[in-house]
Amino acid sequence: MNLLANHPFAKMNGAGNEIVVLDLRGDRARVTPSDARAIARARGLAYDQLMVLDAPRAAGSAAFMTIFNNDGSLSSACGNGTRCVAYMLTRDTDIRRLRLDTAAGPLECVRDGEFAFTVNMGPPRLDWRDIPLRDEARDTSAVWLNAPDLCPVFQTFCAVNMGNPHAVFFVDDPAAVDLARIGPRIETDPIFPEKANVSIARVLSRDHINLRVWERGAGITLACGTAACATLVAAARKDLTDRAATVTLPGGDLRIEWRESDGHVLMSGPVELEFEGRFDPAIFDGAD
């Protein structure tokens, strides 16, 4: 029997971003890509990201997070999921601050309220090699996308890495964009060796952005914390906004600040605990 059978989990969301939290600290069980896909297919457990907690690898950390997308691929960062994890690790305690480690580095979390947290997402990576891009780009705020099959508005994007690569496009009306069509096309364009999240944004004012997101490995999601961070950075680089703004996604609002003092990006927003349960062993029967 799969060691994840009957294991407890929490189903949550962060501003609509569907999250499953699985705490394996002190447990022999491990999650494979096949397990991650099986959980995503289970009735009532469809998620955008699966946050798997293992024992911390660095002194002072509460846990090491491995992040799966619903197709079984790995993500290096998930801001909304990190807030969900922070809630699970601090609920019913007086802990106000904790650190979580990821493949992209440590994330500092601060409790703002019972169901609200701020995550220090660290500094954005803006060099073309760090995003990464296939081709050299001296100015990653305006990168040419060789995509004659797309309309002209999708020929230039701003590239940002917030633990994972992002392509940010500014348009007049995000709702009018056929994201289900252009999202996978841009995600898998050869210019992105590690694929990319695709953000379609409209600047409403100096402190307000409207955003829709196609996440690599997950598809269209109601919210994406790293995309909100990347979009604010992109907008500020283009002087379309100030260095702090509310980013409105279909699932809710996130407050993003690109702090001038150290260049770190702070993301503040809500979490919701939907329910807790244990995995039905049948979920893992014949997992591919």
Active-site amino acid positions: 78, 224
Bridge partners (DSSP) of residue 132 are none
**What is the Cα–Cα distance from 108 to 120, expressed in whole angstroms?**
5
CA 67 – CA 77 distance, rounded (Å):
7
Question: At residue 81, what are phi and psi to the nearest 5 degrees?
Answer: -65, -35
d(CA 216, CA 223): 13
Find out whether 44 and 11 touch, Cβ atoms under 8 Å.
yes
Alpha carbon distance 231, 226 (integer Å) = 8
Alpha carbon separation from 91 to 44, 59, 95, 96, 234 (Å, rounded): 23, 22, 8, 10, 34
Helix (H) or strand (E) holding 233, with range, is helix 225-237
Query: Reduced to 3 states, what is the DSSP secondary structure of residue 45?
Result: coil
Structure tokens at 38: 């099986």
Cβ neighbours of residue 46 closer than 8 Å, sequence gap 6 or more? 18, 40, 70
d(CA 111, CA 203): 29
- Pairing mode of beta strands 208-215, 219-221: antiparallel
Q: Could you tell me the two tokens for 78?
A: 């998930």
Q: Which two tokens stand for residue 235?
A: 């907008």
Cα dihedral 12, 33, 186, 131 sign: positive
